[in-house]
Structure formats: C-alpha cells, structure tokens
C-alpha cells in the first residue's frame, strides 16, 4: 500500500459572500486552486451574528452540486419550487443544482455560534442539465464509527473501511463517487484510511493541526488549510498536541473543461452565456 503524501497546501483566505457572510475559502479561491471535481470549499465559523445574519438571499446555481454541512447553528433553505429544508447542527443538505435552482440560505438564529462547511462538487457534462434534486440528511442518519484511541468518524458519503469493517454513509452511487468523512482525533491519535487510487483527495482541519505521514516522513498541515494528497492507496494522519477535527474528501476526477461564472459551472463559454440568458429570461430551471 502506497501512502498518499501531502502534495500541496492551500491556506484558507478570509472572504465574504452572499449578503455579507464571513467565511474562509480554501479550494476554489482561484481557478488554479480547484481539485477536480471539487470546485470550492468554504468554512463558516463565528460567534458574532453580524458575520452571518444577512445570509445568502435568493441566488441561482447551474451545473454542479452544493453540499452544506452544519456543525453548529440553524439554517433555512428555500427554493423557487417551494422546496424547504431546515438544517440544524449535524445535518447535511446535498443539493444537485443540475440545470438550475434558485434558492436562499438564511440563518435562523439571532445569536450564538454558526459553524459549518459548504462544498461544491462538479457534475459531469452529461448530468449538468438534469433536473435539480435534494437529499436532506438529518444528523441521526449519518453513521458514526468509534476509533480505538477515542476518536470517531462520521460518514456522510462513500464507505469508511476500518479493521475489515465497512461503514457506508447515506450518500452513495453518484458518478463522482465522493467520500466525505468528518474525523475527530484526540492528541497523538492516528487515523488510516484506504482511498480509491484514482480519486483526488484532500483534508481540511477546522480544529487543531495534523501530521500527514508519507514515505519521506510526516509533514505538518495547519488548521484552516486544504491539504491536497498525492496519488496512492491510503492516507495516514495523526492529530497534533491539541487533538484535531478535520474533514476528509475524495472523489473521481471528471477531466473535463471547467468554465465558471459565479454560480454557474459549465464546460464551455457558450453554455455559460446560455445560463445567463436563461436566468435573465426566467428559464434557468426549465
Ligand atoms: Mn447556494
């Protein structure tokens, strides 16, 4: 088994989006900072309501999937079709924008901590214009696995493999075959996981630092940075002295051209121009 080593580190940049929500963007902070098929990773995390209260009022998407994972807080999602999703701590919303969705994502709390992630995953050309769809995954439907040293893993997508046991997550069968794990480790505990060899993979720690093992020794990855792994069969990560919490993502690359204009991600410039025309004419969603 060849260990995947830490190949590139993309520190998150502080930015704001929506109506002024403060967030930290690692993957997707520039077109060069994507990791096929991952387009963007935003971490939001603040105790100050002024940083999140304005939310993300009505906006469109076309051509990819958005995955929102709430660690703390309460967010209401509503779309133009009348779909409504209420995300609370630990819940996940897996939205396939397909040919189009127009939605809002608004904080439902007036005070206290708001913390979580939004990940954008690209769709293959053949699926970019499929009808929009949702999977709302309550925290109780996300299986957890205990690690021998006191850590734990939550399996959102794909299948966790530990000591010959498989723990499948609720999201399976997508064409990019994503794995999405939320891992908590006490200080000094290691976590090792095989990943499909052809998948691109990265890790993002929201708490603590980690050491990523490799053939040439361990390399430190600080919190709030996306650590992109080399090719290989498995990853081995050890928590630093404060313990760590991180998300581990892997998916099959699409190897297709990416043309992005804000919330539209297509394969050609013509398709982007079409998306803008469709949105302006009220035809984005079909
Ligand atoms: Mn959105």
Domain segments of the chain as ranges: 6-251
Nearby residues of 262 by Cβ (< 8 Å), 6 or more positions away: none
**What does the alpha-carbon distance between residue 176 and residue 252 come to, in Å, rounded to a whole number?**
5
**What does the alpha-carbon distance between residue 167 and residue 184 come to, in Å, rounded to a whole number?**
16
Nearby residues of 155 by Cβ (< 8 Å), 6 or more positions away: 142, 143, 144, 145, 167, 168, 169, 180, 181
Distance (Å) from CA 86 to ligand 1 centroid? 14
Distance (Å) from CA 57 to ligand 1 centroid? 9
**What does the alpha-carbon distance between residue 39 and residue 207 come to, in Å, rounded to a whole number?**
23
Residue 45's pLDDT is: 86
* Residues of the chain above pLDDT 90, percent: 87
State the fold for domain 6-251.
Answer: Jelly Rolls (2.60.120)
Per-residue pLDDT of 79-131, as tens digits, reads 988 889 899 999 999 999 999 999 999 988 778 888 999 999 999 999 999 99
Distance (Å) from CA 120 to ligand 1 centroid? 10
Residue 213's pLDDT is: 94
Distance (Å) from CA 154 to ligand 1 centroid? 24
Per-residue pLDDT of 7-35, as tens digits, reads 999 999 999 999 889 999 999 999 999 99
Residue 159's pLDDT is: 98
Distance (Å) from CA 35 to ligand 1 centroid? 20
Distance (Å) from CA 161 to ligand 1 centroid? 32
Distance (Å) from CA 5 to ligand 1 centroid? 33
Q: Which residues pair with 84 in a beta bridge?
A: 78
Distance (Å) from CA 56 to ligand 1 centroid? 7
**Residues of the chain scoring pLDDT < 70:** none
Residue 177's pLDDT is: 98
Residue 52's pLDDT is: 85
Distance (Å) from CA 218 to ligand 1 centroid? 37
Residue 193's pLDDT is: 98
Residue 188's pLDDT is: 96
Number of Cβ atoms within 10 Å of the Cβ of 24: 20
Residue 214's pLDDT is: 84
- Strands 152-157, 210-212: pairing is unpaired
Number of Cβ atoms within 10 Å of the Cβ of 91: 22
Q: Which of 139, 143, 123, 142 is nearest to 131 (CA)?
A: 123
């Amino acid at each position: 088994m060849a260990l995947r080593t830490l190949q590139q580190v993309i520190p998150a940049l502080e930015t704001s989006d929506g109506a002024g929500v403060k967030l930290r963007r690692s993957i997707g902070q520039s077109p060069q900072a994507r990791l096929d098929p991952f387009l963007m990773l935003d971490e939001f995390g603040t105790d100050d309501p002024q940083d999140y209260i304005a939310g993300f009022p009505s906006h469109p998407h076309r051509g990819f999937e958005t995955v929102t994972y709430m660690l703390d807080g309460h967010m209401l999602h509503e779309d133009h079709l009348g779909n409504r999703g209420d995300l609370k701590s630990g819940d996940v919303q897996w939205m396939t924008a397909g040919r189009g969705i127009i939605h809002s994502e608004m904080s439902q709390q007036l005070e206290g901590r708001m913390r979580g992630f939004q990940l954008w995953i690209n769709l293959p050309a053949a699926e970019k214009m499929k009808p929009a769809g949702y999977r709302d995954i309550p925290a109780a439907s996300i299986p957890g696995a205990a690690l021998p040293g006191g850590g734990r893993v939550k399996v959102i997508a794909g299948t966790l493999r530990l000591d010959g046991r498989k723990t499948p997550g609720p999201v399976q069968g997508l064409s990019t075959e994503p794995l999405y794990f939320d891992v908590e480790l006490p200080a000094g505990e290691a976590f090792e996981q095989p990943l499909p060899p052809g998948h691109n993979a990265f890790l993002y720690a929201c708490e603590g630092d980690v050491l990523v093992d490799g053939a040439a020794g361990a390399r430190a990855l600080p919190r709030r940075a996306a650590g992109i792994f080399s090719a290989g069969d498995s990853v081995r990560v050890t928590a630093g002295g404060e313990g760590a919490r991180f998300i581990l993502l892997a998916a099959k690359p699409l190897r297709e051209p990416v043309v992005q204009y804000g919330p539209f991600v297509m394969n050609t410039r013509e398709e982007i121009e079409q998306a803008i025309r469709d949105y302006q004419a009220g035809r984005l969603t079909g």
